[in-house]
Structure 1
Amino acid sequence: MATLLIVHHTPSPNCQALFEAVVSGASADGIEDVRVVRRAALSATASDVLAADGVLLGTPANLGYMSGALKHFFDQIYYPCLDATRGRPFGSWVHGGNDVTGAVRGIESITRGLGWRRAADAVTVTGEPAKADVEACWELGATVAAGLMP
């Protein structure tokens, strides 16, 4: 059975709604033999990443960058996972008040350094999530999870 690790920082109701949509998509009917593991960014470990076959990353955009919690996650796992996780598929979603460009760029830069493979385009949401934003997060979860099915 494959494992999909969802690492998230969800400090607001908007972030929580997007996170729940990602989890729902990753756990949808038709997704078989994929175990979904959820970890808050401040508690996710290198062991979690090493045990996963794919990773989904969620964060708010804070002051033009990913949350400190997600950056802390990357700081903790970078070197322990550097060689062992090359080629690992990942996806991400970012929510912000008005601009998420720096947060997306930061995630892309770090995952590129890790050698991870983008399995789906980043979902970016500004302001109040619309129905289409929630659906895009559901699709992100389903896409990355389906890609892990045997």
Structure 2
Amino acid sequence: MNRSGSDRQTLIIGAGLAGLSAAYHLKTSYALFEKDSEIGGMARSAQKDGYIFDYDGHLLHFRNEYAFNLVSELLNGNMAPHKRNSWIYSKGAFTRYPFQANFYGLPKSVVKDCLMGLIKARIPSVPPLNSNGNFENWIMKT
């Protein structure tokens, strides 16, 4: 039985950062399952021949001060903070990362293709007029 008086338990699948954070912050009992033999997911480290290797190639980018402070505290300050300064080289131009938010310097045709793809992804497709039988139905579906 958990703290709320029921037999229900929260199931957390994966002991990466998200799963560990859920377990850390839950106010009820939980069961945590991880497929690997160690916890931490892509944020864990391994030691070999006196060297420490970090699995996380994407690093940790915190937008939330609480999250940064919590991780720093849990790691006993064993972090090397730095400002993100990433670029992508594409179509003869360097573009800031994340690419989706920065089209500066790209050829106009690439910018147009990207924006049209975004619009198509956000707007549901309009059915052809003849598929609904009449104009009123077509207007209602679009």
TM-score above 0.5, yes or no = no
Higher helix fraction: Structure 1 or Structure 2?
A: 1
Point out the structure with max Rg over C-alpha.
Answer: 2
- Choose between structure 1 and 2 for higher RCO, CA contacts under 8 A separated by at least 6 residues: 1
Higher strand fraction: Structure 1 or Structure 2?
A: 1
Return the TM-score normalized by structure 1.
0.20
